Structure 1
């Protein structure tokens, strides 16, 4: 906190202490007001404007400093000035005083509170930005909530000052009028409870709840407006409780949950059960990475006292193994399994024709119309193909088409170009290089893995280059070309240093020959063809949903890649729970999706895993943090395994053990991260991890040692000095 703020805080504290120290609070009592009412009235008769000004300033000071006595002053306003002048003076003095208190809290403490609790306050700030005036108005109408507490609390939020003022002016008017009117009968009052009787307070509480009731009614009106064009299409009865579109991770979990709670559910899938992860993404790529890791271990066997051998790739056998892994997992996601669970599985292409009707063009021919109470859209995502001139001429693959294409080949393509420096591009570039391919990886940005910290990107690039990948960061793909039988990608370096070790100038083109070009520049949500556009659902980049995963139609939900903001299989499954429970039981209770601790991993060697904030994000969001780092090279198990590359980096709230985020780089980083995900999800700090027994020797000890590093950096030095003196005294 700045010195000027400390100074002001000291002045305010001194003023409050002086108020109580001099006993001034005794003058702001009902007894004093009744005893001296005649004096005040006489003084007002002689100097009306001076008394009004003095009263206004006194009220302003009491309200702005949150001193007790505002209720007595309001009574005095009615007793001395009458109802008209009393209401005018007290209304504006109380609102302006509340605003001054609001400003003081904001100037002194808001930055500190918002920075310390940035993650927790995101939802609150978003809610206040959207409906802050409504909530404040409701609170102002309920006198059982201390107004000074409302002033201070609102000052710590992002609510606009003007909004706070005019809502306070309007919202406090009723309560102020009640007290000013009571001041007219000052002599008959025995205590403040005579003014605010339980019946009156109850009425004002109900009045305070009125805006919330209005909000609920307004939402119902909005819903009726949205559904109005479709009223004639609404069935009187429904064949199903839920229709789920898409049988990837999100759709499968939705269907599973619905069947588990005995709802009648239909799952519609146009192509393969299991979606992208099983058939094109996570499963085949991890099977490939396993083989590539074994190949690398054979080359490095000499490090373990064995004879090193150059691996000989049996490409047909490799592809058979990958396909077999997919086949072995496929029964978990199969039509037969889900049918046995009670899910009606329909294979075809779904189109939403009304908010309650889904038409399915069956794979075997014909159509089938389904009526349903609710719909969950979980259609997944598809690879982005860049608009690169000549790309179609030379041919290309994506993560969706790669495996089927490779299965038709007799040998591994020799020269690869991988477009994209994200997780998919890095994983596949390293894996195919380890299997013997000549891989060139192209990224237009100046580093790989843009969402990670610089040191993570640097290690990833070094690891790929060590395995033979030519990494060209800072290179823009211009076009593809066929030069006879040669396939060429034309690149342009974006500036000096774009390609380490390259002599190409900023404008000189670089030609890279390849046998196979893999586009891995990202994935986009599948949004078209499902009828959402015709219904008026916003599908600009994803399906627009609220915190409950509802679209503009409250009975239509989205989950997984189509909903965003993450494109992870585990997030799709996570969202599916919320979408399904809200769809089936939302009339009784709805749940907001919890994104508090979302893990993510890149399965290169070494692995790179993260949850929460990294340093780059914390800096961008202006979240204060401390860094605790433990190098895995110091870990006994890592030394024994020869996997010393990497670290555990924990971001915490300054001076506290509360975890803001964790980045782990090293062997089995994704497995090690789970402990931190659990800790963040349930609010456990580093002290809890330090106090947990970890098996020896394991890689998981790295988590405990990182917690120990934090503890050592926050030792109570003063207490330890006293302990040192105590032990010296005990020694005599």
Structure 2
């Protein structure tokens, strides 16, 4: 942090237009937005700016997955007639690559980048002391009172540790601490088969680690299309992951005969099954960082899970205070946090009444990727119809030898696109077009009339839309109309001849 306690008296006496608590994505965007709008804004961060996305989430995980993809591609070269021999992975060098990516991106989230646009950055921990007042406790032990006209809470969330008996006696890994690994951890058991668990489980397996993924639900990625979950399960199994779904953990027993380190132990599953591990990576969800913020003193309510209650404009139960990002109970995604930060800050300093965008894309960055937006595509409902295209009909997928995927479009009763799922190696890159289409309320014909490059992965959504267009044209009424038009044109042409 570039500043800590060097506050001028005016900074203490004059209320800040916007106090931003937390220096992750939501907080950085909020502070920069307010400053660019001409407001006096101060961002206060206890640890380091950049948040989970930079230090423990998006950047390191995708850097790890990039290395894992290279290892997997090398092993898989034989099916293309390319043999590379044994693939050796040096996990320490992989982690060097991860840290290099973090260092490269870090300046964009640094205090200097925030101050460059006119906001102030202070190191410390904030505790609200009233509806428009706070106290900053600095690293040197001193504290400073502050007043504000408006505030944005953006303290994010942290990995949750489930209350399983015995787990407190094991030095578990989380998405925060797994980046400290420098060597093969031995048998790595990932507890949780959501997006984080699947990404890290597959990534480490592709890097040669012995991995098991244990999920209590009856399938991986429980919130996604079941067909997408099946595709990811097949992919993880092909990469050597021991996938165990419908597995309820009753207890954790520390230590094991073949591993007595502080991170080793055994998962005791319902029914008596034992799953030994040398390290346990917990990825069962995240909890909001709302403890010790003085929310009661400020009149800010939280729900029974600890998330700050917000309305559609991100206002809390204190009209002077807004919340943005992971602590709100909205989707815990970096792009959501960024959107929230901009919205909360502009609403606060300009008095706008903008509302959160309900159309939120999400991607699980396994291979294949699972990208989804809007209404689910699990199956037909009274008000929803699903158009599904297997990717063995997509030429780019066939050319790359990756046809095990699909595109599914959810259409409402009027034929408008209200949701989509894509399973493919580049699914995340295809989702922006579909997100825009859902947001506009496009129909398949709108997507179908856009010229797409060939051959590309985007042929999946395009051809799925064309399937629906052809089906509509094949119905009796359109067929009668088009045939009548053809006959009329034929008659008119013959008459003029």
Q: Could you tell me the TM-score, scaled by structure 2's length? A: 0.91
Q: After superposition, what is the alpha-carbon deviation per residue over 1:534-592, rounded to whole angstroms, capped at 9, x for unaligned? A: 33422122101112111111110001011122111111111112211111122xx3222
CA–CA separation in structure 1 for the residues paired with 2:418 and 2:229 = 21
CA–CA separation in structure 2 for the residues paired with 1:250 and 1:672 = 25
Q: Shift of the alpha carbon at 1:720?
A: 3.2
Provide the residue aligned with 1:546 in structure 2: 311
Q: Shift of the alpha carbon at 1:727?
A: 7.4
CA–CA separation in structure 2 for the residues paired with 1:516 and 1:321 = 22
Mapped pair 1:523 → 2:292: no
Q: After superposition, what is the alpha-carbon deviation per residue over 1:265-321, rounded to whole angstroms, capped at 9, x for unaligned? A: 000111121101110011100000000000000011122332143310112111111
CA–CA separation in structure 2 for the residues paired with 1:727 and 1:492 = 72
CA–CA separation in structure 1 for the residues paired with 2:210 and 2:287 = 29
CA–CA separation in structure 1 for the residues paired with 2:412 and 2:310 = 31
CA–CA separation in structure 2 for the residues paired with 1:456 and 1:615 = 10
Provide the residue aligned with 1:605 in structure 2: 367
Provide the residue aligned with 2:200 in structure 1: 428
Provide the residue aligned with 1:417 in structure 2: 189
Q: Shift of the alpha carbon at 1:439?
A: 0.7
Q: Shift of the alpha carbon at 1:390?
A: 1.9
1:659/1:680 contact within 8 Å kept:
yes
2:340/2:356 contact within 8 Å kept:
yes
Provide the residue aligned with 1:471 in structure 2: 243
Q: Shift of the alpha carbon at 1:489?
A: 2.2
CA–CA separation in structure 2 for the residues paired with 1:239 and 1:538 = 23
Provide the residue aligned with 1:644 in structure 2: 403
CA–CA separation in structure 2 for the residues paired with 1:564 and 1:445 = 21
CA–CA separation in structure 2 for the residues paired with 1:350 and 1:359 = 6
Q: SS in structure 1 opposite 2:79? A: helix
Q: Shift of the alpha carbon at 1:236?
A: 12
Equivalent residue for 1:287, pick from 63, 85, 101: 63
CA–CA separation in structure 2 for the residues paired with 1:662 and 1:360 = 45
Q: Could you tell me the TM-score, scaled by structure 1's length? A: 0.62
- 1:298-309 to 2 correspondences below 5 Å: 298-309=74-85
Q: Check 1:598–1:474 CA distance in 2 against 1; reply closer, same or farther (3 A cut).
A: same
Provide the residue aligned with 2:3 in structure 1: none
Provide the residue aligned with 1:491 in structure 2: 268
Equivalent residue for 1:677, pick from 435, 439, 460: 435
Provide the residue aligned with 2:354 in structure 1: 591
2:12/2:144 contact within 8 Å kept:
no
Mapped pair 1:720 → 2:482: yes
Aligned residue-pair number:
473
Mapped pair 1:574 → 2:346: no
Q: After superposition, what is the alpha-carbon deviation per residue over 1:29-80, rounded to whole angstroms, capped at 9, x for unaligned? A: xxxxxxxxxxxxxxxxxxxxxxxxxxxxxxxxxxxxxxxxxxxxxxxxxxxx
Q: SS in structure 1 opposite 2:420? A: strand
CA–CA separation in structure 2 for the residues paired with 1:639 and 1:598 = 30
Q: Check 1:249–1:537 CA distance in 2 against 1; reply closer, same or farther (3 A cut).
A: same
Q: SS in structure 2 opposite 1:629? A: strand
2:251/2:269 contact within 8 Å kept:
no
1:475/1:491 contact within 8 Å kept:
no
Provide the residue aligned with 2:35 in structure 1: 259
Q: Check 1:664–1:635 CA distance in 2 against 1; reply closer, same or farther (3 A cut).
A: same
Q: SS in structure 2 opposite 1:601? A: strand
Q: After superposition, what is the alpha-carbon deviation per residue over 1:77-114, rounded to whole angstroms, capped at 9, x for unaligned? A: xxxxxxxxxxxxxxxxxxxxxxxxxxxxxxxxxxxxxx
CA–CA separation in structure 1 for the residues paired with 2:144 and 2:211 = 48
Q: Check 1:645–1:731 CA distance in 2 against 1; reply closer, same or farther (3 A cut).
A: farther
Q: Any stretches of 5+ residues in structure 2 without a counterpart?
A: 1-10
CA–CA separation in structure 2 for the residues paired with 1:594 and 1:368 = 37
Provide the residue aligned with 1:635 in structure 2: 394
CA–CA separation in structure 1 for the residues paired with 2:459 and 2:212 = 37
CA–CA separation in structure 2 for the residues paired with 1:454 and 1:340 = 47
- After alignment, is 700-709 or 290-299 more displaced? 700-709
Provide the residue aligned with 2:376 in structure 1: 614
Provide the residue aligned with 1:353 in structure 2: 129
Q: SS in structure 2 opposite 1:321? A: helix
2:131/2:299 contact within 8 Å kept:
no
Q: SS in structure 2 opposite 1:372? A: strand
2:129/2:135 contact within 8 Å kept:
yes
CA–CA separation in structure 2 for the residues paired with 1:385 and 1:533 = 25
Root-mean-square deviation (Å): 2.0
Provide the residue aligned with 2:113 in structure 1: 337
Provide the residue aligned with 2:423 in structure 1: 665
- 1:123-522 to 2 correspondences below 5 Å: 238-403=14-179, 405-406=180-181, 409=182, 411-481=183-253, 482-484=255-257, 485-486=259-260, 487-493=264-270, 507=271, 509-522=272-285
Provide the residue aligned with 2:300 in structure 1: 537
CA–CA separation in structure 1 for the residues paired with 2:186 and 2:453 = 44
CA–CA separation in structure 2 for the residues paired with 1:547 and 1:393 = 42
CA–CA separation in structure 1 for the residues paired with 2:309 and 2:320 = 14
Higher relative strand content: 2
Mapped pair 1:711 → 2:469: yes
CA–CA separation in structure 1 for the residues paired with 2:367 and 2:487 = 50
Q: Check 1:623–1:366 CA distance in 2 against 1; reply closer, same or farther (3 A cut).
A: farther
2:267/2:274 contact within 8 Å kept:
yes
CA–CA separation in structure 1 for the residues paired with 2:446 and 2:223 = 29
Provide the residue aligned with 1:690 in structure 2: 448
Q: Shift of the alpha carbon at 1:350?
A: 0.9
Q: Shift of the alpha carbon at 1:695?
A: 1.5
Provide the residue aligned with 2:6 in structure 1: none
- After alignment, is 344-353 or 392-401 more displaced? 392-401
Provide the residue aligned with 2:7 in structure 1: none
Q: Check 1:539–1:456 CA distance in 2 against 1; reply closer, same or farther (3 A cut).
A: same
Q: SS in structure 1 opposite 2:47? A: coil
User: Which structure would you say has the larger RCO, counting Cα contacts within 8 Å and 6 or more residues apart?
Assistant: 2
CA–CA separation in structure 2 for the residues paired with 1:447 and 1:243 = 43
CA–CA separation in structure 1 for the residues paired with 2:267 and 2:321 = 46
CA–CA separation in structure 2 for the residues paired with 1:329 and 1:522 = 26
Q: Shift of the alpha carbon at 1:689?
A: 1.4
Q: Shift of the alpha carbon at 1:420?
A: 0.3
CA–CA separation in structure 1 for the residues paired with 2:460 and 2:339 = 28
